[in-house]
Chains A and B, each alone.
Chain A
């Protein structure tokens, strides 16, 4: 599997995207914290975190007794540069801007 494959695979799951969103809103969470927000066993959450780590999207660091999880956005940037920039950036950003604008208006 290539690096890109691992990133796409990691992103192709709602639980893993949820975990990334949680780390985006606040980095450095422990497994216990992440687990408390999901209706899933500890083992299940660990499995998802493992896939995210294999893709390089999450980096874990031991601090004291706890292991903390950090979001690493670099692989997403690389996928973006390779796949999105190349073909569609202008149109995609116009559409995401429109979506944001419409959602803000309706909020």
Chain B
């Protein structure tokens, strides 16, 4: 099957949030395990920040207790330009059907704005991976409850602006 314009159109998801924080603080929150445990789903993300470097998202205690594997997400660093841009391949390995879909491509873009406000964009190319597409869009969590990137980015904003996340999954590391 040849990819049409429509296929391309529907397989990229873009999320954006403005955060009152320095670009470096946002970079650290995304790339260091001490921070990634504190918002969203509370995975412990571990990056080798160089092209070709390893990326792993480790399950927290709550996830392990549910019987999920130690490595929940895997991938590889494509581009690392701190504190501006991070590109990784990204695959949910904790779910066999999603693991079988293969890798998605995830880009974080951090742009400093005026008055101490920084723009964070997440561009997730989920071409050919409908399971990933549904999950990161928050579809699996049902109407009203949010989930996916929308929720993760709102939570990150709360963490960086107010010192604590609102609704973070309590991983209990």
On A, residues with C-beta under 8 Å from B are 3, 26-29, 56, 59, 61, 63, 66, 68, 70, 72-74, 77-78, 80-81, 93, 96, 100
- Minimum distance in angstroms from A65 CB to a CB of chain B: 11
Partner of A81, one of B15, B143, B154: B154
Which B residues are CB-close (under 8 A) to A74?
15-17, 149-150, 153-154
* Cβ A3 vs Cβ B18 within 8 A: yes
A93 and B144 contact, Cβ closer than 8 Å, known pairs A70-B12, A78-B157: yes
Which A residues are CB-close (under 8 A) to B134?
none
Question: Which secondary structure dominates where chain A touches chain B?
Answer: mixed
Instruction: List the A residue with the shortest CB-CB distance to B157.
Output: A78
Q: How many A-B residue pairs have CB under 8 A?
A: 53
On B, residues with C-beta under 8 Å from A are 5-6, 8-10, 12-18, 121, 143-144, 146, 149-151, 153-154, 157-158, 166
- Minimum distance in angstroms from A37 CB to a CB of chain B: 15
Which A residues are CB-close (under 8 A) to B10?
26-28
17 A-B residue pairs with Cβ-Cβ distance under 8 Å, sorted by A, are: A26-B10, A27-B12, A28-B9, A28-B12, A29-B9, A59-B121, A63-B8, A66-B5, A70-B14, A73-B15, A74-B153, A74-B154, A78-B157, A81-B154, A81-B158, A81-B166, A96-B143
Which A residues are CB-close (under 8 A) to B15?
72-74
